Structure 1
Amino acid sequence: MPDALELTADTLPTDVDILIDWATQGFAPGVRAWTLDGARVVASPALSGRDRLAVTGPAEPLAALVRLALAEVGPDYRPFGDRAVIERLAADLPELEVLGTFHWMAVSGDSLPVTPEAHWLDRADLAEAAALLDLAHPTSYAHPDRPGATRWAGVRDEAGRLTALACEAWSSPGAGFMAGVVAHPEHGRGRGHAEAACRLVLDSLLRRSGRAALMVEAHNAAAIRLYGRLGMAPRELAAAHVPGRDG
């Protein structure tokens, strides 16, 4: 495809969509990006638990770019982007199938008010954090025993139990990312502990990058309400895949 341009850290525009900015991961090893007639695609390996293709732009050049990207990096990569974009992409590329929708939620600013309940965990706390995730959110992509998370915030109750978590994971230089949010089903839910942990993480991300985001399942109404209280606005996304190539 002679008209497609492969982007680098030096040629990536500064005004790109936050999804594209986040997916570049500062052009970490293995990340590749292309642009064509206003469409942009970023192939990012092991991004939030999966090999992903972040996609934006007009339908016709975007379809061509996604075909190029899948040929270059392999069909295990899952395209994701705004719901309407992904649904049109799947209509244009019959090899793709839409998997479902979820929310990208983001906030921008210089800081976020924090509460004293939350603190940053030490390495010695991570086994307890892993046990809490295994109990309350076993499908979390962010986990102390797997790559991705860089640091964890937590809250303890009066008995000293770890009752809530949130972490920074897969941040890019221009877009911080939060994941691994969980509250203990007996000792943490309904007490504001998860919100306190989130505030500590988001404040750190905003102070560094000015923007912070996360992804949440569309059916998780309680989590969406929590993130809304933190000033995060929802954006409906969808993902697609090549059936049989789940990566």
Structure 2
Amino acid sequence: MFELIAEEQLRTATDDDAVLLWAAQGLTGGARAWTSGRAVAVASPALSGRDRIAVRGPVAELLPLLDEVIALVGPSYRPFGDADLLAELCARHDGLEALGRFGWMQRTATGLPTLDTGSGSGSGDGRPVAHWLAPDELDEAADLIDRHFPTSHAHPHRPGVRAWAGVRDGVGRLTALAADAWPAPTVGLLAGVVSDPVHGRGRGHAAAACRLALAGILGRSPRAALMVDAWNEPAIGLYRRLGLDHRQLAAAAQRRATGAAGADAAVRSR
């Protein structure tokens, strides 16, 4: 097992894989990366609400590497990576249980149409316009998250978010949010996307918040990405319309004593 101490080493070892580069967070904040043969594992503490190990490589080489990494960082770390790879890992490793599948979606800063944030449109054209939230708006944002997306890892009162994009309706209510969160040097993350089901949903408010957050991310990073629940087809459709491609990931954890994943596997997977 060889530790990678520079992001350029990690980029070479992973063929510039956005998932592992995002997980590495520039190899800062306690994140560490190792390789063995063609296998790579990146352990990152408290990343998007969880201790995580992003993995890649042939299963035969990854199995011993993962055991060594978990022995170093502890059992709280959850492996995640491409869905087929995680399925094979769980099938061949008695100590791992599958937690469920989810989507990783990403787009690049170049080669796609520029995101229209609506900031230059007239006030009477009817389109929702997002803005970056000021500090005195964060309590209201937290209330919107708590009421309509309580499982969000991104939250105005917790660390990890760089900035919040928000939309207000015609009477001044905060109706939608999107966060620029847990940024890595070459991959920024969109998170905390929520809209008020009465006053914001179906009116393009969440899309406007996402466009502004994505434009902010892509203004400084070559790639923007997000994680989305596998069952959330409306959200996946929105993100596709914003130019993001879908990649299926999965997560695993150290096997519990009961051996049962439970009905909440889809929620626990991310």
TM-score clears 0.5: yes
Q: Distance in 1 between matches of 2:206 and 2:51?
A: 28
Q: CA deviation at 1:29?
A: 2.3
Residues 4 and 33 in structure 2, CA contact (< 8 A), matched pair in contact too: yes
Q: CA deviation at 1:115?
A: 1.8
2:143 matches 1:140:
no
Tell me the secondary structure at the aligned position of residue 209 of structure 1: coil
> For residue 90 of structure 1, what is the aligned residue in structure 2?
90
Structure 2, unaligned stretches of length 5 or more?
120-128, 258-267
AA partner of residue 149 (structure 2) = H
Residues 205 and 212 in structure 1, CA contact (< 8 A), matched pair in contact too: yes
2:211 matches 1:214:
no
| Aligned residues: CA RMSD | 1.3
Q: CA deviation at 1:94?
A: 0.8
Residues 87 and 98 in structure 1, CA contact (< 8 A), matched pair in contact too: yes
Residues 112 and 206 in structure 1, CA contact (< 8 A), matched pair in contact too: no
Tell me the secondary structure at the aligned position of residue 55 of structure 2: strand
AA partner of residue 91 (structure 2) = A
> For residue 53 of structure 2, what is the aligned residue in structure 1?
53
2:69 matches 1:80:
no
Q: CA deviation at 1:167?
A: 0.6
For 1:190-209, list aligned pairs within 5 A. Answer: 190-209=202-221
AA partner of residue 5 (structure 2) = T
Q: Distance in 1 between matches of 2:64 and 2:55?
A: 12
> For residue 241 of structure 2, what is the aligned residue in structure 1?
229
For 1:1-247, list aligned pairs within 5 A. Answer: 4-9=1-6, 11-14=9-12, 15-110=15-110, 111-116=114-119, 117-244=129-256
Q: CA deviation at 1:32?
A: 1.1
Per-residue CA deviations over 1:6-36 (Å, capped at 9, x if unaligned) read 1112632343311110000011121111011
Q: CA deviation at 1:91?
A: 1.6
Q: Sequence identity of aligned pairs in percent?
A: 54
Q: Distance in 2 between matches of 1:43 and 1:72?
A: 10
Q: CA deviation at 1:207?
A: 1.7
Q: CA deviation at 1:120?
A: 0.2
Per-residue CA deviations over 1:159-206 (Å, capped at 9, x if unaligned) read 000000001111100101010000011100000000000000101111
> For residue 265 of structure 2, what is the aligned residue in structure 1?
none
AA partner of residue 213 (structure 1) = A
AA partner of residue 114 (structure 1) = T
Structure 1, unaligned stretches of length 5 or more?
none
Q: CA deviation at 1:108?
A: 0.7
Q: Distance in 2 between matches of 1:140 and 1:115?
A: 26
Residues 190 and 214 in structure 2, CA contact (< 8 A), matched pair in contact too: yes
AA partner of residue 118 (structure 1) = A
Q: Distance in 2 between matches of 1:144 and 1:96?
A: 33
Tell me the secondary structure at the aligned position of residue 219 of structure 2: helix
Residues 11 and 21 in structure 2, CA contact (< 8 A), matched pair in contact too: no
Q: CA deviation at 1:54?
A: 0.2
Residues 5 and 34 in structure 1, CA contact (< 8 A), matched pair in contact too: yes
Q: CA deviation at 1:92?
A: 1.9
Q: Distance in 1 between matches of 2:198 and 2:242?
A: 23
Tell me the secondary structure at the aligned position of residue 178 of structure 1: strand
AA partner of residue 58 (structure 1) = P
Structure 1 runs (4+) deviating above 6 angstroms are none
Per-residue CA deviations over 1:217-242 (Å, capped at 9, x if unaligned) read 00011111110110111111100001
Tell me the secondary structure at the aligned position of residue 115 of structure 1: coil
Tell me the secondary structure at the aligned position of residue 200 of structure 2: coil
